[in-house]
Amino acid sequence: MSLNPHIHADARRDRLRARLAQDGLDAYLVSGVANVTYLTGFKGEASHLLVSKHRDILVSDARFTEQIKAECPGLETIIRPPTKKTLDMVAEAVRSIKALSIGFESQVLTVFDFESIKELLPECSWLATRDRVESQRMVKDPLEIEAIKAAIQMAQDAFINLNKLILPSHTEKNVADELERLMRSMGAQNAAFPIIVAAGANAALPHAIPSQHRIGNENLLLVDWGASSPSGYKSDLTRVLDTHAFGKKAGLSGSKDKLLEIYSVVLRAQKAAFETIKPGVKALDVDRAARQLISDAGFGDYFGHGLGHGIGLQIHEAPWFRPGSDTILEPGMVFTLEPGIYLPGWGGVRIEDNILVTSSGAQYLTGISRELEDNIIS
């Protein structure tokens, strides 16, 4: 398959177009930033894409004129003049293609925008659609898989370098800042999300905010980080570092036994989930495999979030791995597996990797060791 992004964007719009008849529509109005990027290659924001039977029109503003020419050559574009509102131009685009029934993204368009566009186009009927583009985005094409692999590489290389630099005197914030700097130096556009660095008991908060807390005062350090590649695709990993050597120097008591026990349960939970993955399996059954193992080990009350989520142009996207999620796995889906156990007052362990569903099973895209013995800081 070609890795030319323009050909991919054309093919993606054709797939969406093919669903128009099924929904009984003349056009889709696509407003989600990542959805517009996916269907056009345009990486800017605040724009709408109209996809219809014969014509596709991107509505944007003058900040992006040159960028659109470069990123989506050949795509029909309407640039809003400063005197007009973007929705006025969307209405103009709808009139120019003579669309009367239009599907809109009910999870994206605000109530205010929806009321406005209805007023501008009283002759049109509107259908609230959900997840048309999101469900297409669940299955990655080779170009996207390469972009995610690049984002993983940047994140991993940065993490390996970070581990050589960590000192007991560093704060959680120092570590997060340094990791972001390293990822950028490896080619990342930026961190894919605000990096989580949590030492000791702070790691009991699954979404801890890096603080001025010194990591040398604790026996473990949880790092949840990812890179956004220049193409916009993201990676998302978590490792727990064993910092007992710091703790010992700081005069902390506490044996390693607890960390070893919790870590081994979480790692086994991730492996159990991984082993269930192949095309045709439900996402909820993958979640259940990890959840059951953690529950059987006696920690069921301490794993309070879903097992994983898709990654791509967004850091959290479909498919979702949690109880009740009946998405059926297909080759090309890329997502995280991130079981965790969080014990208030003690800390937490989460192990997060990025997985690709293959034609016969699954493959880890992340390659840094998941074994605790390989993640010791001394």
Distance CA 174, CA 139 (A): 37
Closest CB to Zn ion among residues 215, 237: 237
> What does DSSP assign to residue 187?
T
User: By CB under 5 A, which span of 13-21, 116-124, 276-284, 351-359 interacts with Zn ion?
Assistant: 351-359
Q: Which is nearer to Zn ion, 31 or 156 (CB)?
A: 156
Minimum gap (Å) between residue 130 Cβ and Zn ion: 23
Backbone angles phi, psi at 121, to 5 degrees: -130, 70
Decide: is 336 part of the binding site for Zn ion (CB under 5 A): yes
CB-nearer residue toward Zn ion: 336 or 375: 336
How far the first Cα of the chain sits from its last, in Å, is: 47
CB of 303 to Zn ion, least distance (A): 14
Rounded to a whole number of angstroms, the minimum distance from the CB of residue 309 to Zn ion is 6
Secondary structure (DSSP) of 62-122: GGGHHHHHHHSTT-EEEEEPTTS-HHHHHHHHHHHTT--EEEEETTTS-HHHHHHHHHH-T
Nearer residue to Zn ion within complex by CB, 236 or 242 = 236
Please, are residues 196 and 180 in contact by the beta-carbon 8 Å criterion?
no
Of 237, 266, 241, the C-alpha closest to 339 is 266
Within 129-188, the residues that bind Zn ion by CB under 5 A are none
Smaller CB distance to Zn ion: residue 72 or 179?
179
Residue 200, classed as helix, strand or coil, is helix
Helix (H, G, I), strand (E, B) or coil at 126: strand
Shortest distance, position 312 Cβ to Zn ion, whole Å: 12
Compute how many residues bind Zn ion; rule: CB under 5 A.
Answer: 4
- Shortest Å distance, C-beta 362 to Zn ion: 17
Contact with Zn ion (CB under 5 A) among 144, 178, 224, 317: 224
Tell me if the bond preceding 319 is cis, omega within 30° of 0.
Answer: yes
Which two tokens mark 77? 């574009």
- Residue placing its CB nearer to Zn ion in the complex, 100 or 160: 160
Q: Is 111 exposed, middle or buried (0-12, 13-18, 19+ CB in 10 A)?
A: exposed
Cα 335 to Cα 10, 269, 283: the distances in Å are 25, 16, 11
| DSSP per-residue codes, 125-173 | EEEEE-SHHHHHHHB--HHHHHHHHHHHHHHHHHHHHHHHH--TT-BHH
Q: Tokens at residue 207, please?
A: 């979404």
Stretch 80-99 residues interacting with Zn ion (CB under 5 A): none
- Distance of closest approach, residue 316 Cβ to Zn ion, in angstroms: 7
Question: How far apart are the C-alpha atoms of 366 and 368, rounded to whole Å?
Answer: 6
Stretch that binds Zn ion, among 34-42, 262-270, 283-291, 345-353 (CB under 5 A): 345-353
CB of 24 to Zn ion, least distance (A): 37
- In the sheet that holds 101-105, the strands lie side by side as 76-80, 56-61, 48-52, 27-30, 101-105, 125-129
Q: Choose the binding region for Zn ion from 254-262, 280-288, 349-357, 366-374 (rule: CB under 5 A).
A: 349-357
Q: How far is the CB of 183 from Zn ion (least distance, A)?
A: 14
26 vs 172, which CB is nearer to Zn ion?
A: 172
CB nearer Zn ion, residue 71 or residue 224: 224
Closest CA to 321 of 353, 348, 293, 286: 286
As measured in angstroms, the least distance from the Cβ of 365 to Zn ion is 13
Among 155-163, 167-175, 239-247, 330-338, which window interacts with Zn ion (CB under 5 A)?
Answer: 330-338
Say whether residue 236 binds Zn ion (CB under 5 A): yes
Which CB, 99 or 334, lies closer to Zn ion?
A: 334
Fill in the per-residue mask, 287 to 306: x = in contact with Zn ion (CB under 5 A), - = not in contact: --------------------
Which residues would be at the binding site for Zn ion (CB under 5 A)?
Answer: 224, 236, 336, 352
